Structure 1
Amino acid sequence: MRSAGRRLGFALKQGLQPATEAGPSTSYQPAFGQSVQLWRGVRLAAGHSALTFTRGPGIGLGRQADRALRRETESFMRKWRSFKTVALGSGAGAISSGQGLLTALLPPALLWLLMVLPASYRVMAFKLMGMAPPASVHAQSYSGSTPSLTSPSSLSILLSRLLQALGLTALASSIRDEILLAARAAYLWCLFLPAVLSAPIVVALNGPGRETWLRLVQWTLEHAGPAFIKWGQWASTRPDLFPEDLCSKLEQLQTSAPGHSPAYTVVAVERAFSAPISELFDTFEEQPLASGSIAQVHVAALSAHGAAMVGNGAEHGALVAVKVRHPGVTDVMHRDFILMQRAAAICSRLPALASLRLEESIRQFGGPLREQLDLSVEASHLSRFNANFRAWSNVRFPVPLFPLVTADVLVESFEEGDLISRYVRQPHRHNALLAQAGVDVFLNMMLKDNFIHADLHPGNIVVKQPEPPSPAVARLAALLPPTWRLRSWLVERQPQIVLLDTGMIVTLSEEDQSSLLGFFRALTRMDGRKLAAEIVKMSVDGRCKDPAIFAAELESMFATMDREYLRIESQAVMRDIIERMRQHEVTLRSSVSTVVVTSLVLEGWSSKLDPDVRILETMRDMLADSLVERLGSAVDRVMASGALLE
């Protein structure tokens, strides 16, 4: 074996010749003859009896053989690191393209080499890298058994170390990422193809098969990944943009997105808190209560040990919500946004689609969404929201239970109630109160706190029924006349709205906050020119194709509009404004755009709860500068309600 090592070392020395000063700027310059000589040396060494020895307990393990193999291997590695790569057998010379091709093919070649090496050589390779070999590989080297050719743990570790030693880790990672992106793109293409191809047929038939197609669209988005599920959740709140039946079908994505297995949940919780799940919780429901695009929620009861960890009055047996992030969601989300950005870049080069500014749209859609991937960030948001609304009796947020908070798992107080979508679908005596509470909460976030929940779709809002009055209060109310307001105040409590999923928030800069207030003030006053000026202030780099024409169009739009139309059809007015912004290539900054879209989503479900509650009308009252304006808005509300005619 020592002579084989010397022959292999001699062949390598003859095959690796440094580049001369007159040669290319690369670090080596192997000639074709030298490559052939090197290849022959490798074949000669490989054919020597040292590589065909009979495996036995003591073969190749003597100190002398170890030292010889170590010297030859270390000499080879020094030359390899010095010259980076060698164009074996290609005769391509020291040109960049040849190096790139060889470097791309090197990882699979190294993997093949590791798989065919005897176990004793693999043990020596691990030792040379300064690593302890896996027990299975080490045992094989001393046994008479044939080593397994598929040892994923040992091969992957050794291959990664070899790539690191050769300086090819970044390249190998890039190649791997591109392969995964290509596979993901192929999967999405096959997934969306049936829905896309069948869409024209469904539209042409105008009825037959539409329900089946809607189920296909929902199924496609469910299996496309978190980014597409989140888009479906957003689309379900926009009946102004999409058909009503499609919105109803996509509403199911708000609470019934695909989940992961209970086994993974247990592993994730125990790994996050370094404790058995039975030690933290007395009971743990394996069936998730709800599953979203980023995580799913389980209901559990705190154990005595878990309550002691939390402290702050946490009770043994208290119900908690355990939010567990889906496995691999970060990588999938990252790849999906890369694919979206590349598709948008290609589409933006087409003249018919250039005006849509798809690249900017994807960037604005993806920015806030990435914040939801870290559940510890959501916990900090919950703490701040609880502090901001501590004086509100009709608004609640879950309370994060520190230290049971990590990036993968979040334990918070369990808030029981019904989704607000139940109240949207059917009349209820509390609908008006709930609608006004939602509008008030959003405006308080935007105008006072500057800390805005940016994901206020109905799936993230729960209505919690009030606690019944105590027996003493009930007896006191029974003594009062039925017409007294004090009696109704004592007996009838207002329901609370609970806001969930606070991972995505927006905080505006002082400039953006001032411009946004100016935007809504100009909108409620129907001042087209002022509105255009505020929109341009909030745009990216202040870009507008023709500011004068843009302002004139908005002024003309409001000149033919009465205030009652603005009050009732505020969503239609906002759509017209956004369409004119698109025509004049005005792109709002990401944070401002998120707030505007959130206000439209809020307007959508609050107006369904109570058509008389309008966000622009409430904002008009809050932003009124004078008593005359406040009286004017009050008169408008009275006239609109028809109270003077009764």
Structure 2
Amino acid sequence: MTSRRQLWSAVRLAARQFSDRAAVAAGNGPSTSYGLIASHGAGLLRSTFLASASARAGLPRQRHISRALRRETEAFLRQCRGFKTAALGSGVGVTQSGQSLFTALLPPALLWLLMVFPSSYRSFAFRLLGLDVSARSALGDTLAADDAPDGAAGAGGGAAAGAAAWLIRRLHLQPLIDELLLAARATYLCFLFLPALLTAPLMSLLGGLGRERWLRLVQWTLEHAGPAFIKWGQWASTRPDLFPEDLCEHLEQLQTSAPAHSPAASVAAVERAFAAPLSELFDDFDARPVASGSIAQIHRATLSERGAALVGGGAEPGACVAVKVRHPGVSELMHRDFILMQRAAAAASRLPALRELRLEESIRQFGGPLKEQLDLGVEASHLQRFNANFRSWSNVRFPVPLYPLVGPDVLVESFEDGDLIMGYVRSPHRHNAMLAQTGVDVFLTMMLRDNFIHADLHPGNIIVRPADPPSPLVAAAAQWPWLPDRIRSWLTDRSPQIVLLDTGMIVELSGRDQAALMGFFRALTRMDGRGLAAEIVNMSVDGKCKDPAAFAAELDSLFRNMDREYLRRESQSVIRDLIERMRQHQVTLRSSVSTVVVTSLVLEGWSSQLDPDVRILDTMRDMLASDWGERIGLAVDRVVGSGQLLEG
């Protein structure tokens, strides 16, 4: 009888874990009507799983199963009745409520049916009853703690969780569960994007108001689609040359207003990461996030005396800090989305019309750098290195990580206040030209001198703040009455600082890639089409091209008919044209090189909006005009301040 009690405890916990995963499979939280329905639906799914699994395992019928099943069913139906039938009928295609209801009902229903009916798994449940004594003992008496009231399980919860996972493995349910959750995610995404896709052709007929509503729907859809899609929206918002201006304006909000998780989840994550109550680490913790991104959200907090003691000299008691907390379940969600993207790309690649797009390679290159952002401890190490690289720059700052308050799920760092750089893009400012040139200088320094490149330089990750006040000596000197106004202005009117955030995604080039990339930019600035073709092939995945001679001739013809001023003014269009010709000739750049090229395009996008006279190719031409091996010149000194451009 004891073994059945242990087995029953494991079945209960397995059901609870399964339903919890099902509740977040679609990627939403419980703050919306959809979340309430999904929560009750998960409870209903848990009770159904409980009844089915216990029956398959040969356990006696538990009376409270029927009560739980009835209670969850009533709660689920009661929540569903909160939506009017008319709203469902008229709003599935165009309203968020109808869309939420549809996407909430279908995945739980699908999971429920598939979980109840597959009889092929019944034999595994009965085989479980034939466990030997040592296997039963491995479950341990701690499993019985799960039968205790909530909160009474204590340390046994960890062992129970392990036993539940073991039970799922023993029943060979994990592949089925993974596929069911993947199916739920795919179903959710299909219905999520369906309204925007179906109504897109009608936008030209609905006028300005209809288009505005559709753009809000697109923004809302990407917000609820998950981190991978939010990242795409952030990138698209920086490309007015590719997308309509009004769409870019809506997608800009994804840079700082991605969906946030609950304050309770943040508190639990902090206490779990540092094994201490929140009140011991911080005197004040703002439950409302300052900003929320696709991977994590940031809370403002005030460091306590104990917290300051932990970080040593990194901060004083009462210092304002930023607490970056990773969204719950974001790793699973990201992994699931990439599986779906890979499967969709593989299916699309079977079509002759889409085969040349090489979607599978594109997804692989997109996913690699993005996965680095999931570990906040990695971001902290990146911050340390960036701070060391730019320690002599007075107008460039990075947040400072406060060790040991650093972990994969939570990162505590200095709080950096300021205004998003897009505010300067929208309105003219006397420092715009200086900000644009600083952005270009920083990127080229990362690429040429340090070989450690911030690969996510969209405007949402860049803030601007006033410069540090001059030292007392400089301030006193500026008050001298005989000092010329020009010198006084130079002493006191310091340029603002730019602060670069979100350093989770970086690129380090191999020596071969670095040399090839420099050759690429040198050939581009010299408008050498054949040399450019050779460098592009050197940077490709396999070093091959479908027809190298035709590719070189095409690029030679392209630049032969182009004047230098057009290249300077329309560098983004020229590089896009190059990428299109690479696609036509089936030349795929290596992932690290491709990331640097795309980052340079993003940088060029917002820096040229700040000041049309600041162009990255102008600075590159000045830097690379002399022989590469010399690395010396006035242009180099202007960009990197001092020191060599490239080691070795």
Shorter-chain TM range is 0.7 to 0.9
Residue in structure 2 matched with residue 27 of structure 1 by the alignment: none
For residues 631 and 268 of structure 1, what CA distance do their matches in structure 2 show? 51
Residue in structure 1 matched with residue 200 of structure 2 by the alignment: 199
| Amino acid aligned to 1:371 | E
CA contact (8 A) 2:142 2:160 kept: no
> In the TM superposition, what is the alpha-carbon distance from 1:203 to its structure 2 partner?
3.9
Residue in structure 1 matched with residue 534 of structure 2 by the alignment: 533
State the secondary structure of the residue aligned to 1:298: strand
For residues 130 and 381 of structure 1, what CA distance do their matches in structure 2 show? 43
CA contact (8 A) 1:126 1:132 kept: no
The answer to whether the aligner puts 1:260 opposite 2:270 as a matched pair is no
For residues 497 and 635 of structure 2, what CA distance do their matches in structure 1 show? 28
Residue in structure 2 matched with residue 498 of structure 1 by the alignment: 499
For residues 524 and 279 of structure 1, what CA distance do their matches in structure 2 show? 57
CA contact (8 A) 2:143 2:163 kept: no
CA contact (8 A) 1:126 1:158 kept: no
Counterparts in 2 of 1:128 and 1:479: CA distance versus 1, 3 Å: closer
Residue in structure 1 matched with residue 84 of structure 2 by the alignment: none
The answer to whether the aligner puts 1:578 opposite 2:588 as a matched pair is no
For residues 457 and 204 of structure 1, what CA distance do their matches in structure 2 show? 33
Residue in structure 2 matched with residue 187 of structure 1 by the alignment: 188
Counterparts in 2 of 1:532 and 1:104: CA distance versus 1, 3 Å: farther
> In the TM superposition, what is the alpha-carbon distance from 1:132 to its structure 2 partner?
3.0
Q: Residue by residue, what CA displacement relative to the aligned partner does 1:491-543 show, whole Å, maximum 9, x if unpaired?
A: 11111110000000000111100000000000000000000000011011023
Counterparts in 2 of 1:156 and 1:273: CA distance versus 1, 3 Å: closer
> In the TM superposition, what is the alpha-carbon distance from 1:157 to its structure 2 partner?
6.2
CA contact (8 A) 1:621 1:630 kept: no
Q: Residue by residue, what CA displacement relative to the aligned partner does 1:583-620 show, whole Å, maximum 9, x if unpaired?
A: 11111010000000000000000000011000010011
State the secondary structure of the residue aligned to 1:233: helix
For residues 125 and 630 of structure 1, what CA distance do their matches in structure 2 show? 71
For residues 633 and 562 of structure 1, what CA distance do their matches in structure 2 show? 23
Counterparts in 2 of 1:585 and 1:300: CA distance versus 1, 3 Å: same
Residue in structure 2 matched with residue 134 of structure 1 by the alignment: 144
CA contact (8 A) 1:202 1:208 kept: no
The answer to whether the aligner puts 1:444 opposite 2:457 as a matched pair is no
Counterparts in 2 of 1:316 and 1:102: CA distance versus 1, 3 Å: same
Gaps spanning 5+ residues in structure 1: where?
Answer: 2-45, 53-100, 115-120, 140-151, 635-646
Residue in structure 2 matched with residue 307 of structure 1 by the alignment: 308
For residues 276 and 452 of structure 2, what CA distance do their matches in structure 1 show? 35
> In the TM superposition, what is the alpha-carbon distance from 1:183 to its structure 2 partner?
0.6
| Amino acid aligned to 1:340 | M
The answer to whether the aligner puts 1:618 opposite 2:628 as a matched pair is no
The answer to whether the aligner puts 1:488 opposite 2:482 as a matched pair is no
For residues 248 and 188 of structure 1, what CA distance do their matches in structure 2 show? 24
For residues 230 and 213 of structure 2, what CA distance do their matches in structure 1 show? 19
For residues 285 and 138 of structure 2, what CA distance do their matches in structure 1 show? 48
> In the TM superposition, what is the alpha-carbon distance from 1:137 to its structure 2 partner?
4.0
For residues 409 and 162 of structure 1, what CA distance do their matches in structure 2 show? 31
> In the TM superposition, what is the alpha-carbon distance from 1:631 to its structure 2 partner?
11
| Amino acid aligned to 1:402 | Y
Q: Residue by residue, what CA displacement relative to the aligned partner does 1:14-43 show, whole Å, maximum 9, x if unpaired?
A: xxxxxxxxxxxxxxxxxxxxxxxxxxxxxx
> In the TM superposition, what is the alpha-carbon distance from 1:352 to its structure 2 partner?
1.6
Residue in structure 2 matched with residue 641 of structure 1 by the alignment: none
> In the TM superposition, what is the alpha-carbon distance from 1:134 to its structure 2 partner?
1.8
State the secondary structure of the residue aligned to 2:142: coil
> In the TM superposition, what is the alpha-carbon distance from 1:420 to its structure 2 partner?
0.5
Counterparts in 2 of 1:326 and 1:110: CA distance versus 1, 3 Å: farther
| Amino acid aligned to 1:350 | L
For residues 319 and 121 of structure 2, what CA distance do their matches in structure 1 show? 57
| Amino acid aligned to 1:292 | G
Aligned residues: CA RMSD: 3.2
| Amino acid aligned to 2:548 | P
Counterparts in 2 of 1:136 and 1:445: CA distance versus 1, 3 Å: closer
For residues 605 and 547 of structure 1, what CA distance do their matches in structure 2 show? 34
Residue in structure 2 matched with residue 12 of structure 1 by the alignment: none
State the secondary structure of the residue aligned to 1:356: coil
For residues 144 and 287 of structure 2, what CA distance do their matches in structure 1 show? 35
Q: Aligned ranges for residues 16-35 of structure 1 at < 5 Å?
A: none
The answer to whether the aligner puts 1:567 opposite 2:568 as a matched pair is yes
| Amino acid aligned to 1:567 | R
Percent identity of equivalent pairs: 70
Residue in structure 2 matched with residue 399 of structure 1 by the alignment: 400
Counterparts in 2 of 1:138 and 1:453: CA distance versus 1, 3 Å: closer
Q: Residue by residue, what CA displacement relative to the aligned partner does 1:72-120 show, whole Å, maximum 9, x if unpaired?
A: xxxxxxxxxxxxxxxxxxxxxxxxxxxxx87644467789x99xxxxxx
| Amino acid aligned to 1:312 | G
Residue in structure 2 matched with residue 365 of structure 1 by the alignment: 366
> In the TM superposition, what is the alpha-carbon distance from 1:385 to its structure 2 partner?
0.4
Counterparts in 2 of 1:632 and 1:555: CA distance versus 1, 3 Å: farther
> In the TM superposition, what is the alpha-carbon distance from 1:478 to its structure 2 partner?
3.6
For residues 532 and 186 of structure 1, what CA distance do their matches in structure 2 show? 43
| Amino acid aligned to 2:333 | V
Q: Aligned ranges for residues 159-308 of structure 1 at < 5 Å?
A: 160-162=165-167, 164=169, 166=170, 171-203=172-204, 205=206, 207=208, 209-308=210-309
Q: Which moved more, 1:300-309 or 1:476-485?
A: 476-485
CA contact (8 A) 1:110 1:159 kept: no
CA contact (8 A) 2:254 2:293 kept: yes
Q: Residue by residue, what CA displacement relative to the aligned partner does 1:442-474 show, whole Å, maximum 9, x if unpaired?
A: 000001100000000000001121134467644
CA contact (8 A) 2:446 2:453 kept: yes
For residues 312 and 633 of structure 2, what CA distance do their matches in structure 1 show? 51
State the secondary structure of the residue aligned to 1:132: helix
Q: Which moved more, 1:217-226 or 1:353-362?
A: 353-362
CA contact (8 A) 1:322 1:410 kept: yes
For residues 468 and 556 of structure 1, what CA distance do their matches in structure 2 show? 54
CA contact (8 A) 2:168 2:174 kept: no
User: In the comparison of the two structures, how many residue pairs are matched?
Assistant: 516
For residues 551 and 416 of structure 1, what CA distance do their matches in structure 2 show? 49
> In the TM superposition, what is the alpha-carbon distance from 1:172 to its structure 2 partner?
2.1
For residues 313 and 597 of structure 1, what CA distance do their matches in structure 2 show? 35
Counterparts in 2 of 1:481 and 1:340: CA distance versus 1, 3 Å: farther
For residues 499 and 539 of structure 1, what CA distance do their matches in structure 2 show? 30
CA contact (8 A) 2:143 2:160 kept: no
CA contact (8 A) 1:226 1:293 kept: yes
State the secondary structure of the residue aligned to 1:194: helix
Larger Rg: 1
Counterparts in 2 of 1:105 and 1:415: CA distance versus 1, 3 Å: same
| Amino acid aligned to 2:237 | S
| Amino acid aligned to 2:410 | V
For residues 175 and 558 of structure 1, what CA distance do their matches in structure 2 show? 55
Q: Residue by residue, what CA displacement relative to the aligned partner does 1:129-181 show, whole Å, maximum 9, x if unpaired?
A: 44433236489xxxxxxxxxxxx9999765544455x5x5xx42211111110
For residues 598 and 297 of structure 2, what CA distance do their matches in structure 1 show? 25
CA contact (8 A) 1:624 1:630 kept: no
Residue in structure 2 matched with residue 65 of structure 1 by the alignment: none
Counterparts in 2 of 1:160 and 1:317: CA distance versus 1, 3 Å: closer
| Amino acid aligned to 1:209 | G
For residues 280 and 124 of structure 1, what CA distance do their matches in structure 2 show? 44
For residues 325 and 425 of structure 2, what CA distance do their matches in structure 1 show? 29
| Amino acid aligned to 1:314 | A
Report the TM-score when normalising by structure 1. Answer: 0.75
Counterparts in 2 of 1:345 and 1:203: CA distance versus 1, 3 Å: farther
Counterparts in 2 of 1:202 and 1:527: CA distance versus 1, 3 Å: same
State the secondary structure of the residue aligned to 1:497: strand
Gaps spanning 5+ residues in structure 2: where?
Answer: 2-57, 62-117, 150-156, 637-648
| Amino acid aligned to 1:182 | A
CA contact (8 A) 1:397 1:500 kept: yes
State the secondary structure of the residue aligned to 2:417: coil
Residue in structure 1 matched with residue 377 of structure 2 by the alignment: 376
**Higher relative contact order (CA closer than 8 Å, sequence separation 6+):** 2
For residues 128 and 337 of structure 1, what CA distance do their matches in structure 2 show? 36
